[in-house]
Amino acid sequence: MCFLRFALLSLLATGLVASEVIRPPPVPPPTIKLPPEEQPVRLTDLAIAVSVAGLQAETVTTMTFHNPNGRVLAGELEFPLPDGATVCGYALDVDGQMVDGVIVPKDKGRVVMETEMRRRVDPGLVEHVRGNLFRTRVYPIPAQGSRTITVVHVAELSLSDDGAACHVPLPRTSLPRLDLRVEVAAGAGKPELGGFGDLVLNGFERRWVAEATLQTVTPDDDLYIRLPQLGPELVSLERHQDETYVAISHAPELPQSGGTASAERIAVAWDASGSRDPAAVARDRAVLAAVVARLGCGVDLRVFRNAPAAWQHFAPGPEGAQALAAHLDALAYDGGTDLAALDLRRDALPAAAQAADRWLLFTDGLHTLGDGLPRFGALPVDVIAGGSRRDRGVQRLIASATGGRLIDASTTAAARAAQMLCTGQATLLRVEAPAGALADVQYAYAAGSGRATVYARVRGDCTATLVYGRPGGAGVLRHPVELRRAEAVAGRVIARAWAGARVAELAVFPERNAEKLLHIGRRYGLVTPGTSLIVLENLQQYLEHEIEPPASWPSMRERYFAALKGRRQREGQRVEDKLATVLGWWRERVAWWERDFPRHAEVKVAQGEAREGEAREVVARGREEALTGMARQLASRDAPATAARPADTGGTGGFDLAGMEAAPSAGLAA
């Protein structure tokens, strides 16, 4: 059996179109790594459906892989998703039918998978690895056959100064069939489509829809969906199940201040662990170089992996910048990451950097050694994220808890990122609302786009107020937003986006928040650090592991519940039978104890005494017979052979019978 791996790099990538935003590079097609003698598994069909609601997009990607080899293959798929994306659906073809995965606790999913693997029938399983990295295993991909996989995820759109956009990567490979569908909820203006496909949007029931089916095609570009001229405020209310959810996007006009523009030195913490992506490191280095050039400052650098290294100090000016670049070039990126070993308090700064007013932290947030956070105090920490593989929850928590900023260097040019880092700009401090009106509010401010994003559950009509200001200072701007639940439309995209933001927050400490993660994963169908999506193939598997089949497979659910009902009835009958038996025994015991046995007891005692007397009599008689026999034997042995011994019927024949009596007596007693 061959084990294969293939990477889906950003099924929905962030980034787009403003001059200050980097257009993401083309994404390579999904590939399967096999031994050199094997023919590659080919992607034969690809279908992508994107549904945009507000500034969130749900993407459904269906892939069919063909195995041209003469033996069965097993596959493990690892796929990093866009920043903040959440997997909320997974399906696998079983006997020609797409079967949806169901949410199970992560530990149980792993146990089920290992159990079925020993039977050589693997289930399909999607697990959360860390941050925005997910993994699934599929078996079997039959010889000369195909398997189809569907992955569903929700992610935020990429924001720019004048709009929002969704970038849908397409593989640059020949596809026998490609299906594309785009659906955008009606907003302030008509969306724009660009890139591959020449799709045309048409209005339909408060939505814009475009779709196409292409045969034998090789995409030469990606697909772009743009929402132009968003305006300063965009509010989307959605009704899902029995709850109302809101997503608010707001672009405030905030005052600027000098901030770190006059700093003589800056303190930098640099992640050099093995999880760092080389492309991300290059982007982070470009940002740091742009900051140093803009400020003309010196740098106090602390490299960390499982433990922080010794401080390195670089002087201001071109020579110091060159020495810093050479030092970063010589770093070896290996080992694990222990963020808890990092001290970002002011007292941890060397004497030369005590005047620094903030830290710059370059890390992917993927702490592989424990789940602790750095020690921090009043000193703000700006977090720079240059890669797609990262833990945004950790990065955002460090930045927001210290009053710092989170800069996405993967979609923001280095010069623009340096400008934001060197300018003391206000941020979103909090969201105010009447008590009980909003629940589980999640908010963030993207310095790159200048927009704030708020997610919340709406419990009652209210006015929510977004308060902006400098960290640690008073608010400089208050923006009210009216929320009316009657304006909510049916849907699930915003609900899942809120749940994904909540999971990212809780996942910073997965063990501590295990129960909450399990509840959210089950309620919203999300893959979290505490839950997985699993696909089983037959009724026996569902029954054995007591996993409820998906709602999209009604016939299996009907058989499952019927079999489960029969099993429970049989188990109930066995319990009743056992209780009846035990009750019968108990009643017999009670009846025995309640009976009166006085005469019977007297008879037993008398019989026992009689038998004891008989036993004593038998023992005494046996003892006497034994002594007599022994005396006769001795007398016979000592008598002359030719003459009879004189008769002495009244004596002992010369023997001390009293002395001989003791030995047999002792022997009998023994």
What does the pLDDT look like over 207-254, one tens digit per residue? 899 999 999 999 888 888 888 877 888 898 999 988 999 999 898 887
Question: Residue range 485-490: average pLDDT?
Answer: 91
Supply angle C-alpha 485, 489, 492, rounded to 5. Answer: 110
CB contact set of 495 (below 8 Å; sequence gap of 6+): 238, 240, 241, 243, 245, 524
CB contact set of 614 (below 8 Å; sequence gap of 6+): none
The model's confidence at residue 656, banded by pLDDT at 50, 70 and 90, is very low
**Residue 192 host element (H or E):** strand 192-195
- Nearest partner of 254 among 69, 22, 428, judged by Cα: 428
The whole-number pLDDT of residue 328 equals 92
Residue-wise pLDDT tens digits, 283-342:
999 999 999 998 888 899 999 998 899 999 999 889 999 999 999 999 999 888 888 888
Whole-prediction pTM: 0.65
Say how far residue 592 (Cα) sits from the centre of its chain: 61
Helix ranges restricted to H, 525-597:
539-545, 554-594
- Nearest partner of 533 among 68, 119, 104, judged by Cα: 104
Instruction: Write out the DSSP string of 291-324.
Output: HHHHHT-EEEEEEESSSB---EEE-SSHHHHHHH
The whole-number pLDDT of residue 340 equals 85
User: What's the chain's average pLDDT?
Assistant: 78
The whole-number pLDDT of residue 325 equals 92
Question: Residue range 397-417: average pLDDT?
Answer: 81
- Nearest partner of 126 among 75, 89, 155, 98, judged by Cα: 89
Q: Name the residue type at position 3.
A: F
Between 136-140, 343-347, 378-382, 597-601, the lowest mean confidence (pLDDT) is in 597-601
Question: Residue range 358-370: average pLDDT?
Answer: 82
Residue linked to tokens 């009599």: 617
Supply angle C-alpha 320, 302, 352, rounded to 5. Answer: 60
The whole-number pLDDT of residue 167 equals 82
3-state secondary structure string, 275-293? CCCHHHHHHHHHHHHHHHH
Q: Name the residue type at position 435.
A: A
The model's confidence at residue 633, banded by pLDDT at 50, 70 and 90, is low
Residue 644 has pLDDT above 50, yes or no: no
β-bridge pairing 298-304 and 312-314: antiparallel
Between 297-311, 382-396, 485-499, 613-627, the lowest mean confidence (pLDDT) is in 613-627
- Nearest partner of 534 among 227, 175, 129, 110, judged by Cα: 110
DSSP 551: T
The whole-number pLDDT of residue 290 equals 92
Residue linked to tokens 């620094």: 356
